[in-house]
Structure 1
Amino acid sequence: MTEDPFVAHRSLLFTVAYEMLGSAADAEDVLQESWLRWAGVDRAQVRDARAYLVRTVTRQALNRLRTMSRSREDYVGEWLPEPLLTSPDVAEDVELAESVSIAMLTVLETLGPTERAVFVLREVFEMPYGEIAEAVGKTPAAVRQVGRRAREHVAARSPRVRVSRAEQEAVVERFLAALRTGRLQELLDVMAPDVVMIADGGGLAAAAAEPVHGAGLVAKLLARPDRSVSVVWLNGAPAGRVEIDGRVAAVSLVVENGKVARIHAVANPLKLTRLDETTELSR
């Protein structure tokens, strides 16, 4: 018996939805809605099931993005994407790992819904402009223009330097070791002077309400020894799982020039439900 195309492509479809939404819970809802539509389709009329399903998921994700943008305006404090526990294998596909990183998803949040959809489908999944145009309801020429603007926007806000996997792992391990001891000087040594820390508590966990700038301020906030710290793979990169008094936080890092340049710390418990089970991502 042939496997249903939706099942065969499920990890790809989830990845598309997650990259567009930054939320695993919302991505799962989009997949459920898309499955219901797929179940009612005359398969004989579908020439390319993969392309058809990606278009369906894209349309459902766009609908959800437009409604979510209003709710995120009311979010308490800084909003960060939902971190996912992934296998180290995701890092083997450098472009996929970069596209699902917390840093990139945070940048994608600054795009409009259509710009985000076009960027994800073209730059990450390499879909033809004609197919993207069908998915987002625009002409191929308009999609090319939207894609160019989105690329320029993302390039201006992305990490300046792409580091090797070995350097990323080494710096992350140094930072987490310093976090484990809570020693101020060790933390200062591993962070860039202009490091920025963004924390997401969602009003449900303690977190700075605004980004914290500068190694001195960040180190003072982090310098406490009473916590458990372990290395995990989140969104295709080495990261940290931190526990303080039974409360969990996921810590993702941007590394530049051998130092930690940006810290993304997610403490909102509603966003930490995926830290105990590996999520399959693919493109």
Structure 2
Amino acid sequence: MMTGLHVRDLVTEFHSRSGVTRALHNISFDVGANEVVGVVGESGSGKSTVVRSVIKLLMPPGRVMEGTAEFDGQDLIRLSERQIRQIRGKEIGFVAQNPFSALNPVVRIEKQFANIAKAHGLKVDTESRARALDLLASSGVNDPERVMRGYAHELSGGMAQRVVIAMALYLNPRLVIADEPTTALDLTVQRQVLDTLTRLTKDCGRSMLIVTHDLGVVANYCDRVLVMYRGRIVEQGPVSEVFVRPQDPYTVSLLNSVVQPKAAGTAHPTELSESRSI
């Protein structure tokens, strides 16, 4: 059995009274074991639609029309809602773009951790609570005990995102999917959160698929990159190859839009070390 995530020929459309819009055109890619893969492209290129299609978080009128997304021998696309809920959280962790939309504003953080465990038939006890506290501390949350007793509205954006990261890792998933996890944060906090997320992913041998419009994030944190344009993957490969010797004209234009290229006309990943968006 192949490990990791294997997406093949994924087609997603949005159906409305005014017609049908094809958002994804035959998307195929892999996320291997212990690998961090970045999905990059301009707004509207289909990045978030890809990950939400794969884990069945796509909202109507979006529909997956064709393709497969195999994870541990199961096609996620074909699973029922009940079946996919057992995989989301336990086997695949999800970090949303807006942490406050992922957290319940009227439920204490401690109760939200407990609800995650209960949803997967796990016992809520002192050991599970201690794990939540350890994850909060590892995620850079100051005074985890106070945060556990509190509510989401009492947290800053950076602290809320750290709590969401801890929740995504709470059941020890093997794959983490992060959908533009630092968009609403300032540059310093972005770097801190990404350092934390990558460390907690790689230290435990997890894989990660991270969606971003920031080439600096891909250069600094990813092993491989998928470049998207108008619902298609126009180029993919190791970051060191794609960023140094891009083959597709769109990839070249992306790189040239955020750096001043050298005479060879390409940019080295280290030149994208500062956070730069497209």
State the TM-score, normalizing by the size of structure 2.
Answer: 0.26
By percentage of residues, which structure has more helix?
A: 1
State the TM-score, normalizing by the size of structure 1.
Answer: 0.26
By percentage of residues, which structure has more strand?
A: 2
